[in-house]
Amino acid sequence: MEMRKKKLPIGIENFEKLCSDDFYYIDKTELIRELLNNWGEVNLFTRPRRFGKTLNMSMLEHFFSLNGDKRIFEGLDISKETALCEEHMGKYPVISVSLKGIDARSYEIAYQMAAQIIIEAAAKYYFLLESEKLNEHDKAAYRDLLDKNMNEGTLGSSLRQLSGMLEKHYGTKVIVLIDEYDVPLAKAHANGYYDQMIFLIRSLLGDVLKTNNSRKIIGSTPVAMTR
């Protein structure tokens, strides 16, 4: 009997789609165990292009997310870690953003693109407006995160504010995943507005990574970044 070949995952960066639609996959779920067992406030993954960094970020999102489908991890290496999976799989709210799309010739347009990324990230949690755990001040701050005309102060603190609101609502720490953080900096350098962009990115990432008590410290890291 001829063995049916799986499909090649060319251009597939969504972990759930890759597992559910029967693509070839080199099992890298052991990375989850390493992250949880090795202490680190923040992890930075630096690998060559096309190494699979974004796919790994998607894997982490689906593993930790409250809305993740646990079935896609069946048969993979991480499923053998029964105690670890019971403790961490599907246990956390997850904020996952990619800065890859911030590609503009001017700072003004790049800023608008960054604001749109934050709006889309915040809009996934629209139910926060009805949360009994958030007060009116929290909800007003959440509405600011949905405003396309948000000022630089709001944008810079946006991920920290959002993670704080999610912690209040769910009563648990938050996983933050940030992908392609260097893209807007590279584009800014090429187009002459690097100083403005480095200030914005420093504010955005510094606020959520260094001064954020709402992110989850789990063995290795609650916050993962790739470049």
Is residue 204 pLDDT above 60, yes or no?
yes
Residue 8 within any structural domain of the chain: no
Please check the confidence at residue 2 and state whether its pLDDT lies above 60: no
Nearest by Cα to 218 from 52, 43, 2, 9: 43
Domain count for the chain? 1
Residue 191 has pLDDT above 80, yes or no: yes
- Indicate the pLDDT class of residue 210, thresholds 50, 70 and 90: confident
Among 39-48, 69-78, 213-222, the range scoring the smallest mean pLDDT is: 213-222
Report pLDDT for 222.
Answer: 37
Residue 1 lies in a domain: no
Q: How confident is the model at residue 225 (pLDDT cuts 50, 70, 90)?
A: low
pLDDT in tens, 101-157: 999 999 999 999 999 999 999 999 999 999 999 999 999 999 999 998 999 999 999
Domain range enclosing 80: 15-226
pTM: 0.84
Q: Residue 192: its pLDDT value, please?
A: 96
